[in-house]
Amino acid sequence: MDSASIPGQVDRILSHIRALAVDIGPRGSTTQGERKGAEYCQTAFQRAGLSPVWESYASAKSIFFPHVLASVGYLLSFAIYPLAGRLSAVVAFLLTLATLVSELLELGFVDNPLRWLTPKGESQNVHAVIPPAGEHRRDLVLIGHIDTQRTPIFFRTPRWVEVYKGFTTVAFVLFAFQCLAYGLGAVFQWSWIWPATLPSLACALVLMVFFLQADLTPFTAGANDNASAVGMVLSLAEALAQEPLAHTRVYAVCTGCEEVQHYGAINFFKRYRAEMKRPSALVFELLGCAGPGYLNTEGIIIPFHSDPDLRARCERLSQKNPEWGAYPVSISGGNSELADCVRAKVPAITLFGLTRTGVAPYWHQVEDTAEKMDALVLTHATALVWALIAEIDG
């Protein structure tokens, strides 16, 4: 796409954002709002002359509920430990170990008992495939999520987010200590073991309150997170439907349930990864207020890294086009759908609208509304995306 066409595409992105964040509004995972967002994407693909694919699946309704269950596991193990000497110590150790391993698996997007026990609802992905104009040599996945998150107190300000990240890190260390201590207690029966895990008990109680409060808060309208990304996917699909790439087949994917541990992206790659030829992926997150940033690393305890070649391309393009103001970013305490690409062995990078100091504007806040969108930021992000697409196709 030439630079003269980019303002028109930005107008289309803004139009999609308004439709999703204003006309439809909050789109919580597995809710009617999310479904209406998917129906909007389906219609947009059809109007572009594409043949959208609608795929339903079961998904968790809450990202917080598995961690409520984990807190219950730690509390129960604390209560059980002193009841019957060595026997109850062994039971408490096994329960703590199972809970800790399940939490690690949950944070790594892997099936686990916490996930089995979490209430489910129906969600959906909508995607369209755009064949290349010439010989099919590779595939490109463009992906953004439709759903929006709740607005808990620990996302209220950047300071709250930092406190939350720090507290959860300390809590995880204490839970690991509880597991180790109960294992030692089962063998040696030392009297100091049980009182030494009182700090772990306190952390489990605080986290339970945090997460229960979170699930009582309203969903955000999600203009920046993540109608801006869906708008990017839809506008790219509209343009590529008119002028396909030379040798790259494109999957334009609007996923559901990213906010509850990425059920949508996991489902998409499970269905389609095997048929992809030399794939790569561009993941879009929070494009409307800051950036464009290109992601180096993300993760909650378990790190995921963007593809080195795509990172190098972003770096080179940014140096060649300083007017875009693009820069590298990293996040801790959060994931984009990059994690799902990495696990599916698809080289990927996330274009993530963090500030240079690492703040995600209006992230999971009531204030994430359409009037906050910055057309200049979207213009620069769009220019970077098209340059990347051209290099991948070339």
The pLDDT of 2-24, averaged and rounded, is: 94
pLDDT, residue 95, reads: 98
The pLDDT of 136-140, averaged and rounded, is: 98
pLDDT in tens, 175-202: 999 999 999 999 999 999 999 999 999 9
The pLDDT of 352-375, averaged and rounded, is: 96
Within the chain, which residue ranges are assigned CATH 3.40.630.10?
A: 3-59+122-151+219-393
The torsion region of residue 290 among left (phi > 0), alpha (psi -120 to 50) and beta comes to: beta
Per CATH, the homologous superfamily of domain 3-59+122-151+219-393 is: Zn peptidases (3.40.630.10)
Cα–Cα nearest to 239, from 42, 12, 60, 54: 12
pLDDT in tens, 321-335: 999 999 999 998 899
pLDDT, residue 129, reads: 98
The pLDDT of 380-394, averaged and rounded, is: 97
Whether the pLDDT of residue 128 is over 80: the answer is yes
pLDDT, residue 116, reads: 96
Whether the pLDDT of residue 1 is over 80: the answer is no
pLDDT in tens, 19-41: 999 999 999 999 999 999 999 99
Instruction: Tell me the average pLDDT of the chain.
Output: 97
Q: How confident is the model at residue 4 (pLDDT cuts 50, 70, 90)?
A: confident
The single-letter DSSP state of residue 82 is T
pLDDT, residue 317, reads: 98
State pTM to two decimals: 0.95
pLDDT, residue 208, reads: 97
Sequence-separated (6 or more) residues with CB below 8 Å from residue 277: 136, 137, 138, 139, 249
pLDDT in tens, 75-117: 999 999 999 999 999 999 999 999 999 999 999 999 999 999 9
pLDDT, residue 332, reads: 87
Sequence-separated (6 or more) residues with CB below 8 Å from residue 119: 60, 61, 62, 65
- Quote the percentage of the chain above a pLDDT of 90: 97
**Helix H or strand E encompassing 320:** helix 308-320
The pLDDT of 138-165, averaged and rounded, is: 95
pLDDT in tens, 266-316: 999 999 999 999 999 999 999 999 999 999 999 988 899 999 999 999 999
